[in-house]
Structures are given as C-alpha cells and as structure tokens.
Amino acid sequence: MTVLRTIGWALVLLAIAAAGHEGFSWLLSGTYKAFTLGEMWASIDRGSLNLVQVGIQRYVAPWLWEEVVLRLLLAPAWLELIVPGAALAYCARRRRHVLS
C-alpha cells in the first residue's frame, strides 16, 4: 500500500507542476494554452511517444490511437494526472483501526 500511496502522491505533485506550468505560461503570454499530456510526454521523451503510436496503430488497432489515446493525450495534463493520483492516494491511505 505504501508504494501505491507514493505513486498517487507523485502523480498529484506532477499535476500541480503541470498546472503551475500552465499558469506561468499564461502570465508570460497573456493567453491561456493548456499544457497537454502529449506535450508533457513529448518533452520528456519524444521517441517513446512515437514508438507507442506506431505500436498501437500497427499491432493493436489503428482506430484505438485516433479515438482513445489521442483524445487522452490532448487533454490538460493536470486533469489527466490529478484524477488517478488522488484516487490512488485515497484508496491506499492509512486506515486507523477504531477499537470499540
């Protein structure tokens, strides 16, 4: 449970960092542009993103990339990270045993 809780909090921290990146770029430019999960992944490692795209389109199903994965990659990164992060952190929380 400790590993899941740690992963959950790491995802929450990444979501906060992505929201901070959006806010900082908004302050600098004066216009809002969402920092997408695809942009975040590409800034970390563009090669693996391309390999995943080719693998899904060639070996799984071409429609899966267009209809599902691409939509997830174009969503704001903070939203995509906060939901599973908060869910993991909540589900793997320490439970206090109540003695009755």
Report CA torsion sign: 7, 57, 78, 90.
negative
- Give the length of the chain: 100
Average pLDDT of every residue of the chain = 91
Res 80 pLDDT > 70? yes
Tell me the C-alpha to C-alpha distance, in Å, between residue 97 and each of 50, 90, 91, 94, 100: 48, 16, 16, 9, 9
pLDDT at 22: 92
Quick one: pLDDT band at residue 100, thresholds 50, 70, 90? low
How much is the average pLDDT of 52-80? 93
Model's pTM, two decimal places? 0.77
Q: How many CB atoms lie within 10 A of CB 1?
A: 10
Report the share of the chain in percent with pLDDT over 90. 73
What band does 24 get if pLDDT is binned at 50, 70 and 90? very high
